[in-house]
Structure 1
Amino acid sequence: MVTTPRHPVDEYRPLSSMALFGLQHVLVMAAAPISSVFIVSAALGLSTELSVNLLAASFVLSGLGSLLQSLGPFRVGAKLPFVMLPGGAPVVLFISIAEQHGVRTAVGAVIITSVFYLVALPVFTRLLRFFPALVIGTMIVIVGVNLVKVSAFLITGRPGDPDFGDPRALLLGMATIGFTIAFFWLFTGVLRQIAVMLGFVSGTVLAILLGTTDFGAVGDSGLVQAPQPMPFGVPEFSLIASVPLLIYSFASMAETTGQTVVNGQAVGRHVEIRRDAPRTIRAEALTSLAGGFFGTPLMVCSGENIGIVRVTGIRSRFVTVAAGIILIVIGFVAPITAVVSAIPAPVVGGTAVLVFGVVIVLGVQMLQRTALDDHTNTFIIGVALALGLMPILVPGMYEAFPPNARILLESGVAVGAVSAAVLNALFHHLRPRLYRDPRPSAATEAEHASEPLEDDHRP
């Protein structure tokens, strides 16, 4: 009897090696949930208890989402080695909604958007053509700039605060960045891949030596904890307040589709877009829906673990199953979350500045997939970037506008994405029809060639 060999993505490995490689995935992506929680806590002035609970919930939900993506039960998850975490842009939007309407409304917006993912999924492929690389890349650049700005405040403090520009805080933040650069320069292979985490640990050690870290509460935290549901109280639902997240959801689904294709390429498995991308999005939606009831922002797939797969050549999805289990264990072990919550904000800020700086680069790389030598594309990108960056660089510029209008106008991500999408539709879809030119421009052809939905093997 001839048996069909297992595809490498479906291979089981010894438990010890799966745990080791799973821990590696965790180390690479751990800076994202830690920095996200610190940013939310600092921006909203959350108590230590709430911050610890939010961090524990983020780890547990990241683990559960990773299990869904890797195992793919009931067509939820693409059965690829994915790790999930609180997203970058959704964190900024969560903070923005919370600052304008209260944190319970922000939580309600996460729940509304998660449900919207599931409702909009059947028509998503029809709308994706309005969100090509030009639109998504512009949005990611704006997201990255916003995140770097928010992260920098963790190092410097906010202008007007008594401790703004504290030399010791600046030293810690810059030292953390310096450590990370040094590790990235010194090491190769896997160690280089976790240079961000090594820099984070080194910055924490320096903070301990400088006496700026207090781990006294670690012994009082007990051994086991469980994330508390609805930590901010009963969620409040406002469709208008949720608009920025709802707008972002289209770009997020497009990005997830691209990540599904890239992950399939990394493990050598053919991805059927119409089958696998909705499964990945479905897992993100359900994980985010659960996270909404535990106070977390939207959960998305991590791009870092795809790089780990490429570096190590370990393609088994059961490695990220191990990573998911490790994340869940971390979330339930109280001393670990207590230690993390005691790490000074400048150390987290230094790490976050680097991580989110890379987000800007990813946006630039995506923009390079468009025909940038086409003057129409450079005009669209320039206008969208200007409109999207203005409310980020000049806070409060729309204070005189009605509250409902400010919801959209003060969200640089939403303004940039909408501007890019509308201008793209006007110049690349409507204008050729008005001038009766059936031939697509070189810019349009380049964009469609780079869209994640294009798959030569799709049935």
Structure 2
Amino acid sequence: MDVPPWYLCIFLAFQHNLTAIGALVTIPLILSEGLCLQHDSLTQGRLINTIFLVSGLSTLLQITLGVRLPILQGGTFALMSPAMAFLSMPERQCPAWTQNATLVNASSPVFIDVWQSRMRTLQGAIMVASVLQIVVGFTGFIGFLMRFIGPLTIAPTVSLIGLSLYNSAGMKAGSHWGVSAMTVVLITLFSQYLRKVPVPIPVYSKAKKLHVTKFYMFQIMPILLGIGISWLVCYLLTIYDRLPADPERYGYLARTDVKGDVVGRAPWLTLAYPGQWGTPTVSLAAVLGMMAGIICSMLESVGDYHTCARLSGAPPLPKHAINRGIGIEGVCSLITGAFGTGNGTTSFSENVAAVGVTKVGSRMVIFVSGIIMILLGFLGKIGAVFTTIPTPVVGGMLIIMFGVITAAGISNLQSVDMNSSRNIFVFGFSMFSAIMIPNWMMKNPDFIDTGVVEVDQVLQVLLNTPMFIGGVLGFVLDNTIPGTKRERGLATGNKVEPDSSNILGTDEVYDLPFGISSRLSSYPWVRYVPFCPQRGRSSNKRAEGDASSQRSNQLPGNTELSVIINQVNL
């Protein structure tokens, strides 16, 4: 946790930002379809600016008052599935005229009301659902929950985050399969075949003067490179008029001028603020759907905490740090919902992987990265630039990202006895049901009719959310069908052993900053507060308790593989 030199801090911070850009840009672009914003590039840019801003704020809160590990915070795909399920309900589908670019007037009060009413409902749902995470974290209830959640619950839940978004990825990739395939090939080439190939770059230092060093560019930014090259090819094909100019023809969406002069029209500076789209509204159906996503997000985060602690050479996680981390993530989701991104916040698994790659686990690096994201959130033209990424390029990126998310979920099963017919039944039935039921519900939207509109809406959202169905079935079956702990993958939980060469005291790493922990320790009631550091014990007892809490709270299955969730493996 040593602080690198200032120039290295800035470089490593930019590296973390580049790693996170894929998810931060993708979430608003996908969500814009459900919000009827696919033909309003300026508003899409504002959403991208907003998610950069709140991700930076959330990162600063997490490393100062939360778990205090070097983990970046940002949007989560876990909330995308329930959001899209809610927005695709028959009574909430976009009006037909919003699908025609020539009929959309971004400044029209009618159009503004169409998309802002949807956004306000998502905001309210996320804000209410985040209260669940706040309560679960700050009361310490997260530790109790983890006793009943095993790999057979986690695997279908996480895998279905990726599988549930196959339609969005397919529609975007299908707008020009050649460009999409090029993007897939480039990202695969950089992230898998060339990741260990260094690129020599000249650097200068007082000790070595001007010299050449190795920079593993392909390993650090494969997605950014893949998108950038494909984007450039599309630009060249556009200016040389090799792509159709007719909006009705196949391949038109591969052009880089589809959005017009959106970058020129975007302001240099923009200011996002809570309630910028109006007062949030609450829908019971949306709230329950978002709660399912929040639970999945918490499972990912607990795994990320343990992995980050090991990779950064920190001591085993004490209970109070886990509780505080989950609680602060809930607070950040509440703030994010208020700002209006249509999404919440979670720990970025891909940035935990970056810590493992660079071997630098400094909070200062992540602090600088958070500041950079906040600054990017104020630059309106930066958000506008990202909206001009051609649709098939985005589709190619989604094929990689969602495929990796699916595989990362399934990887949790490696501690489970998959020779057991019990486990094969639980996983297979959960996965198949979670894919089949939403598909049937989509084709029969009027099937549910209880006579109570609110109940109908709740059932429609939940039954159209694959990860909710898969997670619930996996949880119920795994905890009711007889099976040994070893068979279920609960007896071989991974012990996270920190790097003994760089161990710091638990108090030094996980205590609250600015001397808050020292001042609180003088009050006897603090020992009963689940998210406050516990004082007064010997260092040995504390270390034993921390190690025990880690074993009891750690995600079953392979938590190390959680670092590749959301993006391609670095």
Is the structural similarity TM-score above 0.5? yes
In 1, Cα distance between equivalents of 2:406 and 2:133: 25
1:442 and 2:450 correspond: no
- Which residue number corresponds to residue 363 of structure 1? 409
Instruction: Quickly say closer, same or farther: Cα 1:124–1:398, change in 2 above 3 A.
Output: farther
Aligned to 1:63: 56
| SS in structure 2 at match of 1:257 | helix
Distance 2:358 2:30 in 1: 31
How far apart are residue 308 of structure 1 and its match?
1.1
AA paired with 1:110? Answer: I
Give 1:373 deviation, angstroms.
Answer: 1.9
Q: After TM superposition, list the pairs within 5 Å mapping 1:246-257 onto structure 2.
A: 246-257=291-302
Check whether the contact 1:98–1:104 (CA below 8 A) recurs between aligned residues.
no
Partner of 1:139: 157
Q: Which amino acid aligns with 1:65?
A: S
Equivalent-residue separation in structure 1 for 2:496 and 2:476 (angstroms): 20
From 35, 40, 63, the counterpart of 1:44: 35
Q: Supply the distance in 2 between the matched residues of 1:241 and 1:21 (Cα, whole angstroms).
A: 38
Please say if residues 218 and 338 of structure 1, whose CA atoms lie closer than 8 Å, have aligned partners that are also in contact.
Answer: yes
> Secondary structure of 1:130's partner?
coil
Against the structure 1 CA distance between its residues 98 and 233, is the aligned structure 2 distance closer, same or farther, given a 3 Å change threshold?
Answer: farther
Distance of aligned partners of 1:392 and 1:401 in 2 relative to their CA distance in 1, 3 Å threshold: closer
More helix as a share of residues: 1
**What's the counterpart of residue 16 of structure 2?**
25
CA positional deviation for 1:181: 2.0
Residue 398 to residue 245, structure 1, CA distance change in 2 (3 Å): farther
Q: Which residue of 1 aligns with 2:384?
A: 338
Question: C-alpha deviations, 1:135-168, integer Å up to 9, x for none?
Answer: 0111111111113332222222xxxxxxxxx4xx
Residue identity opposite 1:15 in structure 2: W
Instruction: Pick one of 279, 284, 287 that aligns with 2:329.
Output: 284
Give me the whole-angstrom Cα distance separating, in 1, the residues matched to 2:177 and 2:377: 30
Moved more, 178-187 or 352-361: 178-187
- Please give the alpha-carbon distance, in whole angstroms, between the structure 2 residues aligned to 1:441 and 1:191: 41
1:375 is the counterpart of 2:421: yes
Are 2:235 and 1:208 aligned? yes
Correspondence 1:172 to 2:179:
yes
Structure 1 position 124, deviation (Å): 2.3
For the Cα contact (< 8 Å) 1:155–1:170, is it kept in 2?
Answer: yes
Greater mean alpha carbon deviation, residues 375-384 or residues 145-154: 145-154
Match of 1:160 in 2: none
Please give the alpha-carbon distance, in whole angstroms, between the structure 2 residues aligned to 1:225 and 1:106.
22
> Does the CA contact (< 8 Å) of 2:78 and 2:297 recur in 1?
no
Q: CA deviation at 1:190?
A: 4.5
- After TM superposition, the structure 1 stretch with the greater mean CA deviation from structure 2, 57-66 or 278-287, is 278-287
Partner of 1:457: 547
Structure 1 stretches of at least 4 aligned residues deviating more than 4 Å after TM superposition: 392-395, 451-456
- Gaps spanning 5+ residues in structure 2: where? 93-117, 197-215, 239-254, 450-455, 498-544, 550-570
CA shift at 1:103, angstroms? 3.6
* TM alignment of 1:215-254, pairs within 5 A: 216-254=261-299
Shift in alpha-carbon separation, 1:318–1:148, aligned structure 2, 3 A: farther
| CA distance in structure 1 between the partners assigned to 2:217 and 2:548 by the alignment | 34
* Equivalent position amino acid for 1:276 in 2: A
Alignment of 1:253-402 (within 5 A): 253-296=298-341, 297-394=343-440, 396-399=442-445, 400-402=447-449
- Please report how far the alpha carbon of residue 272 of structure 1 lies from its aligned counterpart in structure 2 after TM superposition: 2.5
Contact 1:153 1:349 in 2 (8 A): yes
Amino acid at match of 2:44: S
Q: Aligned in 2, Cα 1:85/1:333: closer, same or farther, shift over 3 Å?
A: same
Q: Counterpart in 1 of 2:513? A: none
SS of 2:442 mapped into structure 1: coil
Deviation at 1:49, TM superposition (A): 2.8
Deviation at 1:177, TM superposition (A): 1.2
In 2, the alpha carbon distance for the partners of 1:93 and 1:262 equals 27
- The answer to whether residue 459 in structure 2 is matched with residue 405 in structure 1 is yes
| 1:435 aligned partner | none
- For residues 441 and 226 of structure 1, the distance between their equivalents in structure 2, rounded to whole angstroms, comes to 52
One-letter code aligned to 1:24: Q
1:365-424 residue CA offsets vs partner (Å, 9 max, x unmatched): 112222222221111001100111114545614521132322211111111111111111
Given that 1:78 and 1:277 are in contact with CA atoms closer than 8 Å, whether structure 2 keeps it comes out as yes
What residue in structure 1 maps to residue 225 of structure 2?
198
Deviates more, 1:259-268 or 1:208-217: 208-217
TM value normalised by structure 2: 0.70
Per-residue CA deviations over 1:61-97 (Å, capped at 9, x if unaligned) read 1111122222x23xxx211111111101212222222
Contact kept, 8 Å, 2:3 with 2:364, in 1: the verdict is yes
Q: Shift in Å at residue 228 of structure 1?
A: 4.7
Going from structure 1 to structure 2, the CA distance change for 1:241 and 1:219 (only over 3 Å counts) comes to closer
Which amino acid in 2 is paired with 1:172? V
Aligned partners of 1:232 and 1:155: how far apart in 2? Answer: 31
Deviates more, 1:87-96 or 1:239-248: 239-248
Match of 1:92 in 2: 81
Q: How many residues align?
A: 424
C-alpha distance in 2 between matches for 1:107 and 1:409: 21
Separation in 1 of the partners of 2:127 and 2:495? 27
Alpha-carbon contact 2:165-2:402 (below 8 Å) kept: yes
1:149 and 1:450 map into 2 onto residues whose CA distance is: 35
Query: Identity across aligned pairs (percent)?
Result: 25
Query: Shift of residue 191 of structure 1?
Result: 2.5
RMSD, aligned CA: 2.2
Supply the AA of the counterpart residue of 2:144.
R
